[in-house]
């Protein structure tokens, strides 16, 4: 399997949304972390996609947040791999690349809501999130990885959205969109 990971492009949006629908269904819009992302742009350069033979197999995005008062951080999610292509290291490769790019861009910490058993191998733990909360999220699933030592020392309070808001579309953007996302073929 030859998978290419690259920055997401605007043209990737329909395929990304189709992949997220397959991976998570409508539930993805109601998760507490989704509420932090709603109406915001992802962090610059931190939306990545995985492709093989022109088909999107995976996606990950990171979002600017505040880890308590005045403490900048990133929120990772969603990380998704097409169900027919899981277990091949695509999610791990996306995660590793996202963390490398975030560190290269000078970010100090990444938060996520997820399973410690899975994300622990990437350096995520609850060691520095005990005094942080995301409204509606299970506190035991709030994990963090520091990209700079001490980035989350003393962090406390509610995790809140930050970063640039999406602009509301003009009337021209409401015209029917005719492009169709290329569906991912089933694994053999």
- Average pLDDT value for residue range 31-40: 92
- Average pLDDT value for residue range 145-170: 91
Coil, helix or strand at residue 13: helix
More confident residue, 151 or 168: 151
Q: Which domain holds residue 141?
A: 4-164
Asked if residue 160 belongs to a domain, the reply is yes
Asked if residue 171 belongs to a domain, the reply is no
Asked if residue 38 belongs to a domain, the reply is yes
DSSP string, 47-75: EEEEEETTEEEEEEEEEEEEESTT-EEEE
> What is the predicted pLDDT for the residue at 170?
57
Asked if residue 141 belongs to a domain, the reply is yes
**Does residue 36 contact residue 159 with C-beta atoms inside 8 Å?**
yes
Cis peptide before 96 (omega within 30 of 0): no
- Average pLDDT value for residue range 172-176: 51
pLDDT > 80? residue 183? no
List the one residue out of 156, 88, 92 whose CA is nearest residue 124: 92
- Average pLDDT value for residue range 113-137: 96
Based on the structure, what is the number of domains in the chain? Answer: 1
Residue 185: pLDDT band by 50, 70, 90 thresholds?
Answer: low
Across the chain, mean pLDDT equals: 91
Residue 179: pLDDT band by 50, 70, 90 thresholds?
Answer: very low
Asked if residue 186 belongs to a domain, the reply is no
More confident residue, 75 or 27: 75
Model confidence pLDDT, tens digit, residues 43-85: 999 999 999 999 999 999 999 999 998 899 999 999 999 999 9
Asked if residue 183 belongs to a domain, the reply is no
Asked if residue 169 belongs to a domain, the reply is no
**Does residue 165 contact residue 40 with C-beta atoms inside 8 Å?**
yes
- Average pLDDT value for residue range 124-142: 97
Going by the DSSP 8-state scheme, the letter that residue 172 receives in this structure is G
**At 115, which CATH number?**
3.40.630.30
Share of the chain above pLDDT 90, in %: 82
């Amino acid at each position: 399997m030859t998978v290419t990971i690259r920055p997401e492009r605007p043209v990737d949006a329909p395929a990304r949304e189709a992949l997220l629908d397959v991976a998570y269904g409508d539930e993805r819009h109601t998760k507490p972390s989704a509420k932090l992302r709603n109406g915001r742009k992802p962090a610059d350069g931190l939306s990545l996609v995985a492709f093989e033979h022109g088909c999107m197999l995976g996606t990950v995005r990171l979002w600017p947040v505040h880890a308590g008062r005045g403490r900048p951080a990133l929120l990772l999610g969603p990380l998704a791999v097409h169900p027919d292509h899981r277990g091949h290291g695509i999610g791990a490769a996306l995660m590793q690349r996202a963390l490398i790019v975030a560190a290269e861009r000078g970010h100090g910490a990444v938060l996520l809501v997820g399973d410690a058993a899975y994300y622990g191998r990437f350096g995520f733990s609850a060691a520095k999130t005990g005094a942080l909360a995301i409204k509606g999220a299970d506190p035991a699933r709030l994990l963090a990885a520091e990209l700079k030592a001490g980035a989350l020392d003393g962090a406390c309070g509610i995790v809140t959205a930050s970063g640039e808001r999406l602009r509301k579309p003009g009337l021209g953007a409401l015209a029917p969109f005719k492009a169709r996302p290329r569906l991912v073929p089933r694994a053999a």
